[in-house]
Chain A
Amino acid sequence: MSGQNNLNEKQVLDSRMVERSLRRIAHQIVERNQGTDGLLVVGIQTRGVNLAERLVSMISDIEKTEVATGKLDITLYRDDLRHNPVQPTVRSTDLPADVTGRKVVLVDDVFFTGRTIRAALDALVDFGRPSSIMLAVLIDRGHQELPIRADFIGSSISTRKDEDVIVRVSEVDGDDGVWIKALG
């Protein structure tokens, strides 16, 4: 493990561990859905999108078939815009016009309070009526605040609320891995 990128960060997963987790999740998704029929893997902006692309590539390898993918920006569905002084950036959403009947697998990097997923569900439901929605996350860090949970989890890490979990992906950050950073 490369250890620390800066003083307050402690690495908990390296790129090999991330790869193994994703590979296992890819197999689990295929197993749970009995194949890839109707599957739509949707990455949540921003790093969920990179992880979704990797999962789709792995699932295609496993089942020797194309898998539909999409991306979802949930900024406009957040429940904290009125209370949040920092304006988040709106990014792109790219989904098929109608998701009715599809088996959607949402992909995000970290599952924390569950509010991002609540927003994602609201957004998704505006695009149609999926036959099922499942959630795959690389990291479950605890501190759930809503009755929402992930179906596929890479690793569960226990964290304190005053810590930050940082997921880096090589496509954007140059390296793969997960770090815990003490805040304040």
Chain B
Amino acid sequence: MQFTRKHLLGLEELSSDEIRMILDTALPFKEISERQIKKVPVLRGKTIVNLFFEASTRTRTSFEFAEKRLSADTVNVNVSTSSVSKGETLVDMARNLEAMKIDMVVIRHAASGAPAFLAERIDSNVINAGDGWHEHPTQGLLDMLTMRDHYGKLEGLKVVIVGDVIHSRVARSNIWGLKKMGAEVGVCGPPTLVPASLKELGVKIYPRIEDALSEVDVVNVLRIQLERMQSNMFPSLGEYNRLYGISTSKLEAAGRDVLILHPGPMNRGVEIDSDVADGEHQVILKQVTNGVAVRMAALFLLAGGKQAGAAEAALINGE
């Protein structure tokens, strides 16, 4: 099967074959990070711009490692020091960068749809590193890879996503990706953050975390943003922790071996207790390792996809 996509904007539009291909390709790339010389020449000479309009250390450094390990040249553009503060539009900025001959753009933006908007207007590959509340496809992919590594499969796996689901692009990518791969997805959290309308996405709503824990194989714990408390989405961090926080006692009561994921950074003592965060059920650091591998796989496939797509187009046009 060929990967012919030029952009990675979300998991909603990917087929299960495409998702499987990225996950399978991530495996040999994991090994590269174990070598003494953590580099392969495959994207040598390619220029990749990391265009981050929102602060992010972990996602950006993960992409940077992935890009450098593929021998690409990377340039980081951070919004605070960029021309956006001088009023430049997103498209103007990207076109200016393109005039310096770049190949790929990894973009994180506060507006949902910004990566798609850009993809329609520039020539480079565009990779969504998180847009508004919409999607964070590489996070969804690395989460799925981590679950698949542990359980050997995704089909039939029961997963619950806990926390601020309505505002979470991580949750959405998880939901789209997991459902495509045949997993059963549920969500759990305060009704203000997990409204009944989420059922339209085809997920089961668990009002109580205890019920979820007694049924599922995987818990993906989302970070609680303190701003949500300020906008009265729930009364206090303490109450959130008591009702929805993942604690040893809740896990013991569930009586199941549940795999625990967290996209990071963690608020210890809020959505997840410290002893759970460091305990035997969590695979949080494995997620980080898988993140670099999945991003390497995505960059490799997209670079080839652009070429494959161009070659196909040339054939159709009779060149």
A residues at B contact (CB < 8 Å) = 73, 76-77, 81-82, 84-87, 89-94, 97-98, 122-123, 126-128
Contacts and interface: CB of A to CB of B under 8 A. Distances in A.
B41 to A, nearest CB: 6
Interface residues of B, number: 24
B71 to A, nearest CB: 9
Contacts of B39: 126
- Report whether over half of chain B's contact residues are helix, strand or loop; otherwise say mixed: helix
Contacts of B304: 81, 87
Nearest to A82: B307
A91 B297 CA distance: 12
B197 interface: no
- Report whether over half of chain A's contact residues are helix, strand or loop; otherwise say mixed: loop
A85 B31 contact: no
A87 B41 contact: no
B65 to A, nearest CB: 16
B121 interface: no
A81 B42 contact: yes
Q: Count chain A CB atoms within 10 A of each CB in B2, B29, B304 and give the residue with the most.
A: B304
Nearest to A85: B311
A19 to B, nearest CB: 31
Interface in B113-156: none
Contact of B305 (A76, A87, A89, A93): A87
B300 interface: yes
A93 B37 CA distance: 14
Contact of A90 (B25, B35, B41, B307): B25
28 contacts: A76-B42, A77-B40, A77-B41, A77-B42, A81-B42, A81-B304, A82-B307, A85-B307, A85-B310, A85-B311, A85-B312, A87-B2, A87-B301, A87-B304, A87-B305, A87-B308, A89-B25, A90-B28, A92-B27, A92-B28, A92-B31, A93-B28, A94-B31, A97-B35, A98-B36, A126-B39, A127-B37, A128-B36
